[in-house]
Chain A
Amino acid sequence: MQKFFSSRKLVIVVVCLIVSFGLMSLSVAIRDRRSTPPLVQQFGNDIVGFADRIVAAPMNGIHHGFVSTKNLLNTYQENERLKSKVDQLTQTQVKDQVLSRENKQLKRQLNVGSTLTGYEKINAAVITRTPSSWASQIIINKGQASGIKKNMPVIAGPGLIGTVAEVNKTNSKVVLVSNTAENSNRFAIQVLGDNSKVVNGIITSYDSSSNRIIMGNITSKAKLSVGNRVTTSGLGGVIPKGIYVGTVSKVTQDDYGLAKKVYIKPAANLNDIEVVSVAVRD
């Protein structure tokens, strides 16, 4: 049997390791610093993205068929339940309309142009998902060409699902809130507590074993209880105010007993995303 680690092989292994670590550090540095990846990578991703659409279309079609059938079976029960909510909804909608008109008028009177709440949506379809346990990422079919920029929040169904992490010309990567990486998803949120007191904070981590977003380091004395609604606070950057994140499911003390730690149940189902909208602040 030949010697496994001949000196030539050893050299190759060492060189490969060095190059690997170099490339990894480089791509992390680039990802954190720049809004778009280098042009070559962008170009490559665009081409692969186009090819992927050809394969992904039939797969997503099949998936869609299954989901539709499942929905059909649930229709009756759902219909019963929803009927009871319809009356309530119209009432809220009308109220919402009146309030937003009033809001606009008041803003005009006060000469306030755009506030933190205003945003427009860019709709996009999901092409594919990263096959990896750790990088909870999806790839959507809109990019720089449609006006998407890095760090914009992404909404699916009822609430926030993540932020845009990498933008190519015609597709972009969205990091879901279920990503456990140290440097992702630190966005500012607020809890509407009891007695309509507002507690501000940021998302600090994600608990993958129970599917909960964790908001740590809260020193406010305001009382929070299970079921309180959580929205984005619009502070610090590109994320608009008032995007629904989820509801409080547990409030505990942190490891040192000094600050509170709030567990939030995400509103959107992170494992069933077909269409998303990217929120662009006015």
Chain B
Amino acid sequence: MKRKVPIAIYFVIGQFIAFFLDGSLSQAMSGVLFKYPNSMVPYLTVLWLILAAFFGNVKKLHLYTWAAIIGFIFDMYYTGLLGVYVFIFPLVVYLCQMVYQILPPNFMSGFLVYFLGITVLVSLGYMANAFIGETDSSVAQFLVNTLAPTLALNLVLLAIAYFPIEALYRTHRQ
């Protein structure tokens, strides 16, 4: 009989693939995603983390540790600005998990919680970037040109990824 691969392995490998896909998608689709003046940013890494928090066992997967690790790599490799996503990723995962526990576990509440999660993530990212002078866009500009398109893109990605990933965790739960 074939031995089952533990879900934790899938989780870690999937996380790194999601991490690299973020950058690759931004590069390959930059004409669409970063069309002036809007910018849509894919956050597949966070999608993977939050869905793991929804369906998986947070303790067994060491989810917060992994969120911090991937956040640190994100800071180091993509932005070169340390100390931003290393804290934001675990925080967003924590918030999403807390809220999701209260709600009935179905797609609509997942959608809602993810909406909140991405809003918190992008807003905190904006605040950190504004603090060090990396961006000069005003709050109004940020809301219209960054937050709204980013939310739209990421909710579409969630709708695509929600059920396959749920199935993956369900088959491994028994």
Contacts and interface: CB of A to CB of B under 8 A. Distances in A.
Interface of A: 16, 19-28, 31, 37, 41, 44-45, 48-49, 51-52, 55-56, 59-60, 62-63, 126-139, 165-166, 173, 180-183, 205, 208-211, 269, 271-273
B79 interface: yes
A224 to B, nearest CB: 24
The 3 closest A-B pairs by CB, nearest first: A23-B83, A128-B23, A55-B20
Nearest to B37: A209
B80 A134 contact: no
B84 A24 contact: yes
Nearest to A13: B91
Nearest to B78: A130
Contact of B137 (A20, A135, A208): A208
Interface stretch (B25-33, B53-61, B159-167): B25-33
Given A16-B87, A134-B134, A23 B43 contact: no
Contacts, number: 161
A44 B24 contact: no
Interface residues of B, number: 49
Given A55-B24, A128-B20, A272-B30, 18 more contacts: A24-B82, A44-B73, A45-B76, A51-B16, A52-B77, A55-B20, A56-B24, A60-B27, A60-B28, A62-B28, A131-B22, A131-B78, A132-B129, A133-B39, A135-B81, A138-B27, A181-B134, A271-B34
10 contacts: A21-B131, A24-B84, A44-B73, A45-B77, A55-B17, A59-B25, A130-B78, A173-B80, A209-B145, A271-B30
Nearest to B84: A24
B35 A271 contact: yes
Among B82, B125, B132, the most chain A Cβ lie within 10 Å of the Cβ of B82
B24 A59 contact: yes
Among A131, A183, A272, the most chain B Cβ lie within 10 Å of the Cβ of A131
B133 interface: yes
Interface of B: 16-17, 20-31, 34-37, 39, 41-43, 73, 76-84, 86-87, 125-126, 128-129, 131-137, 141, 145-146, 150
Given A20-B84, A21-B83, A51-B16, A128 B129 contact: no
Dominant secondary structure of chain A at its interface with chain B: mixed
B78 A44 contact: no
Dominant secondary structure of chain B at its interface with chain A: helix
B128 A24 contact: yes
A139 B150 CA distance: 22
Contact of B135 (A41, A48, A180): A180
A137 B76 contact: no
Contact of B26 (A37, A129, A210): A129
A180 B136 contact: yes
Contacts of B129: 132, 134-135
Among B80, B133, B145, the most chain A Cβ lie within 10 Å of the Cβ of B80
A241 B66 CA distance: 47
Contacts of A41: 76, 82
A181 B133 contact: yes
